Amino acid sequence: MVPGSLPPVVLYHYEASPIARKVRNILAVKRIPHVRVEMPMTLPRPDLADRLGITYRRIPVLAIGRDVYCDSSLIASVLERRFPASDGFGTLFPKRKGSDRTDAAIIKQYTMSYADRVLGTVASFLLPYHKFKPEFLADRTAWFGQKLDPSAMQARQPLGKSWLSSHLALLEEQFADGREWLFDTETPSLADLSVHYVWEWLASFKPMQPAAKELLDATVFPATVSWISRMTEHTVKAHTAHKFSIQTVSGERAAEIITSSAFEDLSGIGFDETEGTRLGVQLSQLVSVTPDDNGKVPTVGRLLALNKEQVVIETEGSAGTVRCHFPRIYYVVQPAASAKL
């Protein structure tokens, strides 16, 4: 299924998810063969919760071998490490033009704290909540931890457009020196992929297209609109070139692929005693890992590794045990006994 000695890669996604769009683009740009499992837009998701013991409710989720990675920020970093450019894969952290530096750290920070959590959130203001079915609204009410009022969300759309216009102005300022990509890199970086998918999502989702057409005015933001076109062309070419390597499989088959694969060596992650003390957790202890902003459904498992980048726990489902990885930033790790389930 996957050539050579590469571990199998499995993407759990659904087509309409904007973050899943970003990860699909990352996989295409990096030229990574993988299989996909189509997830429902709302809970329950038994292919993750029941088969693998992963109750994390966000999509996408990506497995590499028997290790499962949550949150697109960690997914991107791990894909870059495990499928490096030195082995013939694409890169998310190209060198700056005229330099040997990659600015990987600031690009990761920009992506994690701005593109996904700020820009993506403001863009979601333009969703047509008044047209969604009650079951979807109920699911997203649980997601946000407060009741969604479609009328109130509709009333916020002018504010959302105004804020997005200001974000476009910042992008236009960044491109004012004639650079081709956001961080003046040789090729698009993770920053380009992570900001572009928001505008691509707005322009491709039919109910949001009028707002996108209004905002993406080439007479007001010429450099930014030109960059969006370049990025769209870049990702389309990447998908077209590597479409042959993608298959869609059932959740049952995906679980078989994952649980019959090898675990990643965790020695490179280890256990940071200082961080463990700060968090009040120890190796082999049952802990919970929960997002700190929304979708606050804890995943519980035995603590296997912890450093400043990620935390790894062992979870068990009907298909067997897996190792579930989460970022440290924006996630709460605590003993399971004190977790608020």
Residue in this structure with the two tokens 């070139």, named with its chain if needed: 241
Domain annotation covers residue 62: no
**Is residue 164 a part of any domain in this protein?**
yes
**pLDDT higher than threshold 70 for residue 330:** yes
DSSP annotation of 219 reads: T
Look up tokens 């400043």; give the residue: 308
pTM for the full predicted model: 0.95
Range of the domain at 117: 104-236
Residue 194 inside a domain? The answer is yes
**pLDDT range class, residue 4, cuts 50, 70, 90:** low
pLDDT of residue 340: 44
Query: What percent of the chain has pLDDT above 70?
Result: 97
Kindly state the average pLDDT of the residues 98-103: 94
Mean of per-residue pLDDT scores for the chain: 95
Question: What are 211-229's pLDDT values in tens digits?
Answer: 999 999 999 999 999 999 9
| pLDDT recorded at residue 7 | 96
Q: Could you give the number of structural domains in the chain? A: 1
Query: Does pLDDT of 339 surpass 80?
Result: no
pLDDT tens digits along 170-185: 999 999 999 999 999 9
Quote the pLDDT of residue 341: 38
Whether 10 is covered by a domain: the verdict is no
Residue 2 has pLDDT above 80, yes or no: no
Is residue 185 assigned to a domain? yes
CATH of residue 196's domain is 1.20.1050.10
Average pLDDT over residues 39-48: 97
- Are 284 and 276 contacting, i.e. CB atoms less than 8 angstroms apart? no
CB pairs under 8 A, 24+ apart, for 87-94?
Answer: 88/31, 89/30, 89/31, 89/32, 90/29, 90/30, 90/31, 90/238, 91/30, 91/187, 92/26, 92/29, 92/30, 92/189, 92/190, 92/193, 93/189, 93/190, 94/185, 94/186, 94/187, 94/188, 94/189
* 237: region left, alpha or beta (phi > 0 left; psi from -120 to 50 alpha): alpha
Binned at pLDDT 50, 70 and 90, residue 337 comes out as confident
